[in-house]
Structure 1
Amino acid sequence: MARLVLALVLAVADAKANATDNATNATDATATVLNQGLKVRSMSSSMSRPVTILHISDTHSMHRSTGNLPDADIFIHSGDVAKVGSDSELGDFNHWLGTIKHKYQHMLIISGNHDYWDTNWRMNRGWLSASEAHSPNYFQSKITNAKVLNHEMAEVMGLKIWGAGWHPRRGDSRSGNNYADIPAGIDILVTHEAPFGIFDMTGGGHWGSSHELLGAIYRAKPKVHLFGHIHEQRGHWDRNNDHFEGGVEYRPSPHTGQVFRPNGPPAQNYPVEVESNNAMANQPAVDHSWTGVWAPQHIVGRARLIIAKKEGDAWHFTSSVP
């Protein structure tokens, strides 16, 4: 019996010794491989995952007709969420944001000219004071499910995003912004109007664009500019090395491939990598001039997806339509 117990003790000791040897050998082998230059992946800034930004604009209270918008990290609407900006319209838009906010980590909004039509009507009748309408919190108080940018910057997911919407009591062609306060070093600029000469051609020539904005873009050098406002010039420009690719996408007639007033790309020294005019509603008057048919305004564009990739210490951007 004593011999049996001794044999069992020796067997257990041998098993422990073998396990220790195997673990040591494995550790030594790992150390040897690491010493020979095995590169271990880490989540350093140079290998951080891409950030996705969904850009929509000019939905004019037809937000529920935009379909199943794709998921993204950041959602940005660049103005004209409503047709006239009544409390009922803005309330419905805000409710809709609440139903989709689970798809985005951050939601950012700016105001457009149509978002103040009802506000201007009430101001002109003395039912609303100018000080209240011009308060930085006026539009934010109506849109509670997203952050409204009003000449301010949001820093999210490593990106610096600066936005400025429309001003109350301004006409439909000028926002009232001089854009002198756009800071240098931002990644994404969000406005409602266009920079002069870029996606701003209408039947009457240049419209709804700003010389001041164009100058501010050259000064501040954002990597991305998102806007809307000029429906018939919906399109994009993406920088590819020393030139831009893209152009106007708006088609007045769905039965032809002809776009509305195609124009040339920005100047070669234009600092933006992605320029996106994504006014998603059609322009009924323009469509009628091509087709001879009057149709209600409806959503014709699709959301644009902006991809941000970190390369070293700098962000770089491309766009696509998912």
Structure 2
Amino acid sequence: MTTTNTPLSSEKVKTRILIISDTHTASLFPSDTHDVPFREPLPKADVLLHCGDMTMIGHLWEYERTLELLSSIDAELKLVIAGNHDISLDEVYYQRKGQYMQMLKEADDSIPARARELMTGARAREAGIRYLDEGTHEFVLKNGAKLRVYASPYQPEFCDFAFPYFRNEDRYNPLHKSTPNSTHIAVNPVPDFPAIDVMMTHGPPMGIRDMTSRNEVVGCEHLLRAARRCKPRLHCFGHIHEGWGAERVRWAEGEGIDAKWEDHVEGSELIEFEGERLRQDRAAVVDVSGSGGDELAFGRETLMVNASIMTLRYQPQQAPFLVDLDLEKA
């Protein structure tokens, strides 16, 4: 459902959001044999967000296993986007390279439609799963809160995997607000503040939880610009496994016409987590609600979360995030 810029309500509803990404077909570890955070059962939440890379290479059986994982999590609503590894959910990419990437003897053009049916069909919907295409979506939760989401599975071209765009292409901003000297390709641009509560993207914005093991900053400058315009309460993503973590970003004031990081971000506070607490809680817990004592300033701050479950070596040992924040009453 497309959202509009509606007036903000003065009434707030504390809402618990569980965030995971880059599960790559992993299952939860049994609690009786493992003591890593990603073990059963994960904490109960009002909403589960999965920020893409559900699979390793988009095989149908991998989506089946992902549905088993998502169905086992206790959340009323489970919002899911694709990532660059979920190649069969990018039909254009799959037609070009799917047979090669999946090492199939013969091409099977039915796979993208079958993959989409798995993620949008009756089994998924009965489990509370909603697969989101790029764009804006709105939901009303059982706790009375209104949740407005912008979703996008795309990221700058990465090893010729799915959902790519070139780095000089601005996918997230309208033409009159796009990055200087970029090529404008936005079909579903990110709305301005205050239209969105949560941004879900697979890739990170430039300079925020996006550094690789080789000290390369690989986030998207156009996405950073869009996030600064949108100023959501929460922006969650994955993609860069070694970027796991959370930061509380304070946006710079003014129009921000340049493309420099400092033109958009006034400051950023890294949130620290203690390893034993992560294991005990089965999550990295962050409370930015009004009752939590450190309320997020909506319109000035955004909680940025890289929720990659996989380590750099593809071990599912990193913690989900459990975030308490206030949403407007529906």
The verdict on a shared fold, with TM-score over 0.5 as the criterion, is yes
Cα deviation, residue 89, structure 1: 0.8
Does 1 or 2 have the higher relative contact order (CA < 8 Å, sep 6+)? 2
Q: 1:18-57, aligned counterparts within 5 Å?
A: 46=10, 48-57=12-21
Tell me how large the CA RMSD over aligned residues is: 3.5
- 1:179 alignment partner AA: Y
Q: Give the Cα separation in 2 of the matches to 1:248 and 1:282.
A: 18
Corresponding residue of 1:32:
none
- 1:197 alignment partner AA: G
1:88 aligns with 2:61: yes
Provide Cα deviations, 1:205-236, integer angstroms capped at 9, x if missing partner.
33542121112112222221100111111110
Match of 2:190 among 175, 182, 189: 182
Q: Give the Cα separation in 1 of the matches to 2:119 and 2:249.
A: 34
Q: CA distance change for structure 1 residues 170 and 250 in 2, over 3 Å: closer, same or farther?
A: farther
Provide Cα deviations, 1:231-263, integer angstroms capped at 9, x if missing partner.
111110125898543258799xxxxxxxxxxxx
1:75 aligns with 2:51: no
Match of 1:163 among 139, 142, 151: 151
Q: Are 2:85 and 2:162, in contact at CA under 8 Å, matched by a contact in 1?
A: no
- 2:133 alignment partner AA: N
Q: Give the Cα separation in 2 of the matches to 1:182 and 1:73.
A: 24
Cα deviation, residue 158, structure 1: 0.8
Cα deviation, residue 55, structure 1: 0.5
1:141 aligns with 2:117: yes
- 2:320 alignment partner AA: A
Corresponding residue of 2:176:
none
SS in 2 for 1:205: coil
Q: Give the Cα separation in 1 of the matches to 2:231 and 2:137.
A: 17
SS in 2 for 1:89: helix
Q: Are 1:234 and 1:248, in contact at CA under 8 Å, matched by a contact in 2?
A: no
SS in 2 for 1:69: coil
SS in 1 for 2:235: strand
SS in 2 for 1:273: strand
Give structure 2 stretches of 5+ with no counterpart. Answer: 1-8, 30-37, 140-144, 166-170, 174-188, 252-265, 276-298
Q: 1:1-322, aligned counterparts within 5 Å?
A: 46=10, 48-65=12-29, 66-67=38-39, 68-100=41-73, 103-116=74-87, 119=94, 120-122=97-99, 127-129=107-109, 133=112, 140-144=116-120, 145=124, 146-156=129-139, 157-166=145-154, 171=159, 175-176=163-164, 178-180=171-173, 181-184=189-192, 185-238=195-248, 244-246=268-270, 271-284=300-313, 297-310=314-327
SS in 1 for 2:137: strand
Q: Tell which structure's C-alpha radius of gyration is larger.
A: 1
- The percentage of aligned residue pairs carrying the same residue is 26
Provide Cα deviations, 1:113-159, integer angstroms capped at 9, x if missing partner.
11117944327777255x985xxx77542213211111122212312
Cα deviation, residue 276, structure 1: 0.2
Greater per-residue helix proportion: 1
Cα deviation, residue 171, structure 1: 3.8
Q: Give the Cα separation in 1 of the matches to 2:316 and 2:160.
A: 20
Q: Give the Cα separation in 1 of the matches to 2:66 and 2:243.
A: 24
Count of residue correspondences: 233
Cα deviation, residue 301, structure 1: 1.3
Corresponding residue of 2:282:
none
- 1:88 alignment partner AA: W
Corresponding residue of 2:177:
none
Cα deviation, residue 197, structure 1: 1.3
Q: Are 1:173 and 1:209, in contact at CA under 8 Å, matched by a contact in 2?
A: no
Cα deviation, residue 48, structure 1: 4.6
Q: Give the Cα separation in 1 of the matches to 2:161 and 2:273.
A: 22
SS in 2 for 1:50: strand
Q: Give the Cα separation in 2 of the matches to 1:217 and 1:279.
A: 20
Q: Calculate the TM-score normalised by the size of structure 1.
A: 0.62
- 1:308 alignment partner AA: L
Give structure 1 stretches of 5+ with no counterpart. Answer: 1-44, 252-269, 285-296, 316-322
Provide Cα deviations, 1:22-69, integer angstroms capped at 9, x if missing partner.
xxxxxxxxxxxxxxxxxxxxxxx6555411111111111113333211
